[in-house]
Amino acid sequence: MDEEFEIVDKVFCRLVDQKTNNDLEQIVIDIWHSSGLIRGGGLHNYVGEAADINKVIDSYSFIGQSQCSNCIAKAKEYWEKYSSGKPESDLDCDDFREIFDSQLDDLEETFYNSEEKIIQALVQFVQKNKLNG
């Protein structure tokens, strides 16, 4: 898996350094970036701070990782329940985490356990679409 991780990470870094990306390249960027943010800060921080979550959800589905897509979509749904009717200044990712703790734990466990599958799917996607430079 280390070799596969390095392949994806190298492609991601190259794509991020490009001035523009096509739709297929953007899928790699969206997935690799979001998976790193989620692993580093949890779903509660990701859905509370990310801009275009629907595009990321679609990207995971596009490469066949619907389990991850569903985790992010469900966390987004919880965020929408939490944030409904609140002024933006009252929204707090840690407060959200506390309220939906057990639900987010379950989603994160599923997401984290999919890391190897995400990497394998991205390697296949990169190779199939000749994105590895």
Other Cβ atoms closer than 10 A to 88: 6
Q: What is the pLDDT of residues 88-133, one digit of tens each?
A: 999 999 999 999 999 999 999 999 999 999 999 999 999 999 998 7
Half-sphere exposure of 65 (CA within 13 A, CB side): 32
Residue 51 confidence (pLDDT): 85
pLDDT of residue 133: 73
pTM score, two decimals?
0.94
**CB 84, CB 120: distance < 8 Å:** no
Note the pLDDT of residue 1: 66
Rounded to the nearest 10 degrees, what angle do helices 101-112 and 23-49 cross at?
A: 150
Q: What is the pLDDT of residues 121-131, one digit of tens each?
A: 999 999 999 99
Distance between CA atoms of 65 and 63, rounded to whole angstroms?
A: 6
